[in-house]
Chains A and B, each alone.
Chain A
Amino acid sequence: MSKKEEKPYILSRPLTLIYKLPISKTLPFWEGLKQGKFMTTKCKKCGRITFPPQADCPSCYSSEVEWVELSKEAELVTATAIMVKPSSFAQEETYIVAVAKLKEGPKAVGWLKGVKPDPAELKEKIKPGMKLKVETIVPKEGSPYYVFVPA
């Protein structure tokens, strides 16, 4: 894959975009993380628990949902380790992203900590059914989030 010489160009005007992401309807989730709680929504009409939380039930379209606290118990479904990172994650060490099935039923996507993102270790350890627990993280800067760790 030989690198050809670059052709003539002019540089565009630079543009930096920072969006304001509305969280009014999922505020208990974000506030919960700050208190170490893992919250989501449950439909009062049909009982569906959604993750991620949403203010309107996607099963029966009712907007009568209540906030419930999840147990933080989960099982691994699948995972990857991100070696080539997006520009806004360039400062991060290689991170593992997992899909986990929560004890309450829905699945969730999040970082998996406590496993070395090394191909040999990943091949050995990343197996469906691995027991995980959810930990809440409140960083010094930026919004709170959650991670999975081996239980």
Chain B
Amino acid sequence: MRRVAVVGVGHSKFGRRDDVNLGELAFESIKPALEDAGLAPEDIPLLVVGNAGFCEEMLPAVAIADYAELYNAELMRVEAACATSSAALAAAYNAVSSGKVDIAMVVGCEKMTELDTPYIVELIGRSGFFFWEFQHFGLTFPGYYALHATAYMNQYGATEEHLAMVAVKNHKYAVTNPYAQFRQEITIEQVLKSPYIAWPLKLFDCCPITDGSATVILAAEEQAKKLTDTPVWVEAIEGCAGSANLSKRESFVGLKAAQVAAERAFKRAKITPDKIDVANVHDCFTIAELMAMEDIGFCGRGEAYKLVEEGQTYIGGKIPINVDGGLKAKGHPIGATGTSMIYSLTKQLRGEYIKSNQAPIKHGYALAHNVGGTGHYAYITILSRK
């Protein structure tokens, strides 16, 4: 296997983007990524599009490749629910590391606001296990995570206040992120007073419905060193499947798929969790950030909410998490979320992130934790600047 580096990244404004269609939105991250890498459209021999499928285009990869006229590329679309563009990145990484291609582009792009909210709630709810869970019982995605929140709070004594602290932190960092959907601070009181969406989760525990795109360009070692002085190396990208049926889960206080993916990733990268300088974790709901911290191994089981209470997940703390605003406040355009994490972490490791959001880089490692469904899929990516 060859070493592979991130050599270009681009990001669109996240939010309710009713001013653009799918191709136009993808272009907003494709163009800056090509500029960042110093490449032209015809230099891309493989284009992997991450799109979970919530807009009118049945073949989103085709619509995107056509708008940017990336006709020289082998083209495919990858789906792994909310981990879609991490899976797309894995496919591109495999092609580059194996020697099949020297360069590959991953475009994560999702348009979610073209449907009214109840229909999006319906489509995402159907994305669990439709036949046995949605058809008769109408589970929603906030509902799936709420089942975990209830279990976690009952087992470890965490409270709704602890969940609120996660939202408050992520909103704080979104204020200075120009790409973020929600750029205002919130208070614990505001979170606690917001209406219940799926008890015990409230409106401000939940990520918004978002349109957005983020693009990552990978290159093999030899090409990467020619293209850039600041390659960011992909040390590991590992995934694992989890049960679709919640009834098959042993436990509801963590996500098994993420635990296995993390173990595999640390083994592949030959490092331990304490070497991670900054992490983006899948905080689609506040409870998810707590479970992620424990699943990755930043702390023991039942300890994440105590770290949050101590402020250890802010910049300057033990492990800065989601200091770009996270899914919670930056927004969660399902198929673009994985590549958006890679965008933020690449900028972090290059030391060129937004000044107020730049984490201190001591060991030179960053980690992205991207979950599809409620741990139906999970991907862990470890990046380094070494």
Hey, which bits of chain A sit against chain B, CB under 8 A? 1, 4, 6-7, 9, 12, 21, 51-52, 77-90, 92, 95, 97, 99, 106-111, 117, 119, 122-123, 126-128, 143, 145
Across the interface, B247 reaches (CB within 8 A) one of A107, A117, A126, namely A107
Is B148 in contact with chain A by the CB < 8 A criterion?
A: yes
Question: A21 near B139 (CB under 8 angstroms)?
Answer: no
Stretch at the interface among B81-89, B114-122, B261-269, B310-318: B114-122
Question: B198 near A80 (CB under 8 angstroms)?
Answer: yes
Q: How large is the interface on B (under 10, 10 to 19, 20 to 34, 35 or more residues)?
A: 35 or more
* Minimum C-beta distance from A56 to chain B (A): 15
Interfacial chain B residues near A106, Cβ < 8 Å: 247-248
Question: B56 near A12 (CB under 8 angstroms)?
Answer: yes
Whole-angstrom CA separation of A111 from B16 in the bound complex = 34
Contact status of A79 and B122, CB under 8 A, knowing A4-B16, A122-B199 = no
Whole-angstrom CA separation of A117 from B134 in the bound complex = 19
* Minimum C-beta distance from A77 to chain B (A): 7
Across the interface, B147 reaches (CB within 8 A) one of A78, A84, A119, namely A78
Hey, which bits of chain B sit against chain A, CB under 8 A? 16, 18-19, 56, 114, 118-119, 121-122, 125-126, 131-140, 142-143, 146-151, 154-155, 182, 184, 195-201, 245-249, 252
The closest CB in chain A to the CB of B253 belongs to A78
Question: A78 near B139 (CB under 8 angstroms)?
Answer: no
Across the interface, A81 reaches (CB within 8 A) one of B16, B133, B196, namely B196
Question: B138 near A88 (CB under 8 angstroms)?
Answer: yes
Interfacial chain A residues near B56, Cβ < 8 Å: 12
Question: A109 near B132 (CB under 8 angstroms)?
Answer: yes
Additional A-B contacts beyond A4-B16, A86-B125, A109-B247 (9; CB < 8 A): A1-B182, A77-B151, A78-B147, A83-B198, A84-B121, A86-B122, A87-B118, A97-B143, A106-B247
Question: B252 near A78 (CB under 8 angstroms)?
Answer: yes
Question: A83 near B195 (CB under 8 angstroms)?
Answer: yes
Across the interface, B199 reaches (CB within 8 A) one of A12, A89, A119, namely A119
Interfacial chain B residues near A1, Cβ < 8 Å: 182, 184
A-B residue pairs, 4 tightest by C-beta = A80-B146, A86-B122, A89-B138, A87-B118
Contact status of A107 and B198, CB under 8 A, knowing A88-B122, A99-B147 = no
Question: A80 near B118 (CB under 8 angstroms)?
Answer: no
Interfacial chain A residues near B126, Cβ < 8 Å: 86
Centre residue among B16, B114, B149, B196 by max chain A CB count within 10 A: B196
Centre residue among A6, A21, A78, A106 by max chain B CB count within 10 A: A78
* Minimum C-beta distance from B118 to chain A (A): 4
Contact status of A90 and B151, CB under 8 A, knowing A81-B199, A85-B138, A108-B247 = no
A–B pairs, 26, beta carbons within 8 Å? A6-B18, A7-B18, A21-B131, A52-B132, A78-B151, A80-B199, A80-B200, A80-B201, A82-B139, A82-B142, A82-B143, A83-B197, A84-B140, A84-B197, A84-B198, A86-B118, A86-B121, A86-B140, A87-B119, A89-B138, A99-B246, A109-B247, A110-B137, A111-B137, A126-B150, A127-B154
Whole-angstrom CA separation of A78 from B114 in the bound complex = 34
Whole-angstrom CA separation of A129 from B63 in the bound complex = 51
* Minimum C-beta distance from B280 to chain A (A): 23
Across the interface, A78 reaches (CB within 8 A) one of B136, B137, B150, B184, namely B150
Question: B136 near A84 (CB under 8 angstroms)?
Answer: no
Centre residue among B18, B199, B201 by max chain A CB count within 10 A: B199
